[in-house]
C-alpha cells in the first residue's frame, strides 16, 4: 500500500529538520564544523553540481524563398549535432535545446526572432550553420546584449567588425580570395569572368574581393556581371561572358542557380572552366563541373580521417540521406567550438560565461578541422586568408590536400 500524502510530508519535514540540525548544532568555527562562509560554499557547490538545466541555443536561417536550397539543409547538420551531443549525455550533463527560426530573408524578422530567443526563450548563444543574409538585422542587437554568434560561413562584415561574432574559419575575404586561389592552382585558363548575385551584401563583398586579388593571382578580368537567384534563366549572362572571351567563370549564386547555369551556358555553346561559392555532391551529376575546385572555410567535408570521424558518424546516423556540402562541415565546426566553450564554464551557463571561455581560445583548430583561431576580449576577429580544397572528381568530391590549408 502506498505512503499517504500526509506521511510523505512528515517524512520531508523530518528529513529537512535533521539536515538543518546537522548544519547548526555546533557553533561556527568549532572543530569539524563548517563556518558560515564554508556552509555557503557547500550549498553553492552542491547547487552547481546538481544543475542539469538545458542549454538553450538559437539559429536563424533564410530557409524559405530563393535562398532556401542553400540555407535550409545545413541547419539539419546543426540539428544532427544536437542529437549526437544529447545522445552522449549533453554538455557537462546539460541537455542542448536548439531553437531554429526561418526569417524569410527579412532583416527585421531576423532581429525580432533573435530578440525573442534571448529575452523569452533563454537562448545564450547563436550558432550559425550557413550564410544568413540578415546579419544586418540582428548584428547590432547581439552586440548591445552581448550574445555570442559562433560560426557560419562568415560572409557578413559583422564577422570582422562586431566583437560578438566568432568566426570558426576564414571570413568572407579569405573565402573569396580562396576561390580564385584554388582556380589558379587547378586551371591554366586566365581570362576571368565574375558573376555575382544582386540580392545580398555578401555578393557585393565577394565581387569586390575578386577584383582586388584577381591580378595578383594571374587572372585578367574580362567580364563582370550580376544575376538574381530568383531568375528562371541565365542565358543573357552566359552570352555576355562568352562574347567577352571568358574562359574561367567564377560565380556567387545559390546552389539552385548553380545547378542550372552551367547547362544553360552549354546550350549557348559556352564552355568555360567554373569556380563557385557553392558546392555539394549534386555537382557530380553536372558534367560541366568536372574538376571544379572549391575553397572551404573549414575542413573538406569528404575528408574521412580520424579528426572528422564523429562528423561522419553523426551525419550517417541522423542524416543518412543528406546531400552533404561544405556548409555541413561549417555547422559542425561551429558547434564544436561552442561545445568547447560551454564545457569550460564553471557554474551557470550564461552568455557572459560563454564569452569568457571563447576569449581563452588561442590557436584553436577543433582538432585540426579548421585554421588556428584566436579570440581577443571585446575585439573583432579577423581570420587569416586560408582555405581548404575540395575538387569535383570522378564519382566523388575529393579532398586532395586533406587537412592542409592553402594560405596567402
| CATH of residue 326 | 3.40.50.2300
Q: Is residue 166 domain-shared with residue 191, that is, in the same domain? A: no
| Structural domain contains residue 38 | no
Q: Is residue 92 domain-shared with residue 196, that is, in the same domain? A: no
| Structural domain contains residue 166 | yes
| Structural domain contains residue 32 | no
- If DSSP codes are grouped into helix, strand and coil, which group holds residue 197? strand
Choose the final residue of a domain: 278, 296, 314. 296
Q: Is residue 264 domain-shared with residue 329, that is, in the same domain? A: no
Q: Is residue 196 domain-shared with residue 288, that is, in the same domain? A: yes
- How far lies 143's CA from each of 67, 85, 118, in Å? 26, 28, 13
Choose the final residue of a domain: 296, 315, 334. 296
Which sign does the torsion angle of CA 341, 346, 352, 356 carry?
negative
Domain count, the chain: 2
Q: Is residue 165 domain-shared with residue 185, that is, in the same domain? A: no
| Structural domain contains residue 399 | no
pLDDT score for 193: 98
CA atoms of 234 and 197, how far apart (whole Å): 12
Residue 102: all three cell numbers together: 526561418
Q: Please report, in angstroms and rounded to a whole number, the separation of the first and last CA atoms in the chain.
A: 76
Show the domain range for 285: 173-296
CA atoms of 80 and 318, how far apart (whole Å): 6
Q: Is residue 237 domain-shared with residue 350, that is, in the same domain? A: no
pTM of the model: 0.83
Question: How remote is the C-alpha of 205 from its chain's centroid?
Answer: 19
CA atoms of 46 and 177, how far apart (whole Å): 52
Angle at 277 between CA 271 and CA 283, to 5 degrees: 55
Q: Is residue 62 domain-shared with residue 110, that is, in the same domain? A: yes
Choose the final residue of a domain: 254, 274, 296. 296
pLDDT score for 72: 65
| Structural domain contains residue 3 | no
Q: Mind giving me the DSSP string for 56-100?
A: EEEEEE--SSTTHHHHHHHHHHHHHHHHHHHHTT-BTTBPEEEEE
Cβ atoms of residues 200 and 212 within 8 Å: no
CA atoms of 374 and 360, how far apart (whole Å): 8
Q: Is residue 165 domain-shared with residue 193, that is, in the same domain? A: no
β-pair partners for 101: 60
pLDDT score for 51: 63
pLDDT score for 158: 87
| Structural domain contains residue 28 | no
| Structural domain contains residue 365 | yes
Q: Is residue 272 domain-shared with residue 345, that is, in the same domain? A: no
Q: Is residue 88 domain-shared with residue 76, that is, in the same domain? A: yes
Q: Is residue 244 domain-shared with residue 288, that is, in the same domain? A: yes
Low-confidence ranges of the chain (pLDDT < 70): 1-51, 65-72, 129-132
| Structural domain contains residue 231 | yes
Q: Is residue 184 domain-shared with residue 290, that is, in the same domain? A: yes
CA atoms of 248 and 188, how far apart (whole Å): 9
Amino acid at each position: 500500500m502506498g505512503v499517504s500524502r500526509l506521511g510523505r510530508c512528515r517524512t520531508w519535514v523530518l528529513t529537512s529538520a535533521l539536515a538543518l540540525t546537522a548544519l547548526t548544532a555546533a557553533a561556527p568555527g568549532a572543530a569539524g564544523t563548517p563556518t558560515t562562509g564554508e556552509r555557503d560554499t557547500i550549498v553553492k557547490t552542491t547547487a552547481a553540481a546538481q544543475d542539469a538545466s538545458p542549454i538553450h541555443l538559437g539559429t536563424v536561417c533564410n530557409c524559405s524563398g530563393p535562398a532556401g536550397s542553400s540555407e535550409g539543409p545545413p541547419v539539419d547538420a546543426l540539428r544532427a549535432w544536437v542529437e549526437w551531443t544529447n545522445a552522449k549525455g549533453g554538455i557537462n550533463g546539460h541537455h542542448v535545446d536548439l531553437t531554429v527560426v526561418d526569417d524569410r530573408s527579412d532583416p527585421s524578422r531576423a532581429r525580432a526572432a533573435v530578440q525573442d530567443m534571448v529575452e523569452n526563450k533563454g537562448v545564450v548563444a547563436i550558432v550559425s550553420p550557413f550564410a544568413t543574409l540578415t546579419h544586418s538585422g540582428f548584428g547590432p542587437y547581439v552586440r548591445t546584449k552581448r550574445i555570442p554568434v559562433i560560426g557560419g560561413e562568415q560572409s557578413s562584415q559583422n564577422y570582422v567588425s562586431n566583437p560578438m561574432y566568432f568566426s570558426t574559419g576564414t571570413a568572407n575575404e579569405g573565402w573569396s580570395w580562396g576561390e580564385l586561389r584554388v582556380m589558379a592552382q587547378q586551371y591554366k585558363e586566365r581570362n576571368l569572368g565574375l558573376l555575382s548575385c544582386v540580392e545580398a551584401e555578401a555578393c557585393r563583398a565577394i565581387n569586390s574581393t575578386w577584383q582586388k586579388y584577381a591580378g595578383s593571382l594571374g587572372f585578367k578580368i574580362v567580364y563582370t556581371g550580376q544575376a538574381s537567384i530568383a531568375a528562371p534563366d541565365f542565358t543573357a549572362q552566359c552570352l555576355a561572358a562568352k562574347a567577352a572571351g571568358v574562359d574561367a567563370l567564377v560565380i556567387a549564386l545559390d546552389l539552385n542557380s548553380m545547378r542550372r547555369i552551367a547547362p544553360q551556358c552549354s546550350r549557348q555553346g559556352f564552355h568555360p572552366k567554373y569556380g563557385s561559392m557553392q558546392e555539394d555532391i549534386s555537382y557530380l551529376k553536372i558534367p560541366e563541373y568536372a574538376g571544379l575546385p572549391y575553397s572551404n572555410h573549414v575542413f573538406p567535408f569528404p575528408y574521412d580521417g580520424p579528426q572528422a570521424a564523429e562528423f561522419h558518424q553523426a551525419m550517417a546516423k541522423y542524416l543518412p540521406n543528406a546531400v552533404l556540402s561544405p556548409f555541413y562541415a561549417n555547422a559542425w565546426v561551429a558547434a564544436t567550438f561552442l561545445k568547447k566553450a560551454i564545457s569550460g564554464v564553471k557554474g551557470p551557463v550564461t552568455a557572459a560565461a560563454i564569452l569568457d571561455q571563447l576569449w581563452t581560445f588561442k590557436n584553436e583548430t577543433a582538432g585540426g578541422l579548421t585554421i588556428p583561431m584566436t579570440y581577443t576580449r571585446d575585439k573583432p576577429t579577423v581570420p587569416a586568408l586560408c582555405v581548404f580544397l575540395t575538387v569535383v572528381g570522378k564519382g566523388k568530391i575529393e579532398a586532395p590536400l586533406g587537412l592542409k590549408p592553402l594560405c596567402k
